[in-house]
Amino acid sequence: DTAVSQTPKYLVTQMGNDKSIKCEQNLGHDTMYWYKQDSKKFLKIMFSYNNKELIINETVPNRFSPKSPDKAHLNLHINSLELGDSAVYFCASSQVGFSGNTIYFGEGSWLTVV
């Protein structure tokens, strides 16, 4: 039973298209994240939601829009895809409130823009 699951795992699409990635966690965590990992393996935070409220919004183009219908789900919609958007997108969750809580990752969504 996967703790953090995201779909699709692989996505190949053309420039200019709009696509969405969905994420669900069954850990009961309050906080969910989207991270982007580039070809150099750098994991950079994009967004974070706590109990459906946006709490982290890094310098990400407006073409990226997260949505959290409830605390177990966090989706990522990307408009007008560009070549530079090609990366692996990881959804994650944690229970923040005190030190010692681990962040758990989904399996990743490999996005290729052609």
Which residues contribute to the site for other proteins (CB under 8 A)?
Answer: 31, 33, 35, 40-45, 48, 50, 55-56, 90, 94, 96, 98-108
Of 18 and 38, nearer to other proteins (C-beta) is 38
Q: Which two tokens stand for residue 105?
A: 């990752």
Report the residue number, 48 or 75, with the smaller CB distance to other proteins: 48
Supply the minimum distance, in Å, between the C-beta of residue 31 and other proteins: 6
Taking the C-alpha atoms of residue 79 and residue 35, their distance in angstroms, rounded to an integer, is 17
Question: Of the two residues 38 and 82, which places its CB atom closer to other proteins in the complex?
Answer: 38
Amino acid letter, residue 20: S
Q: How far is the CB of 8 from other proteins (least distance, A)?
A: 15
Q: How far is the CB of 28 from other proteins (least distance, A)?
A: 16
**CA gap 1, 31 in Å, rounded:** 20
User: Which helix (H) or strand (E) segment is 24 a member of?
Assistant: strand 19-25
Nearer to other proteins, 45 or 72 (CB): 45
Contact present, 113 and 85 (Cβ < 8 Å): yes
At 62, the amino acid letter reads N
Cβ at position 70, least distance to other proteins in Å: 18
**CA-to-CA distance for 79 and 29, rounded, in angstroms?**
28
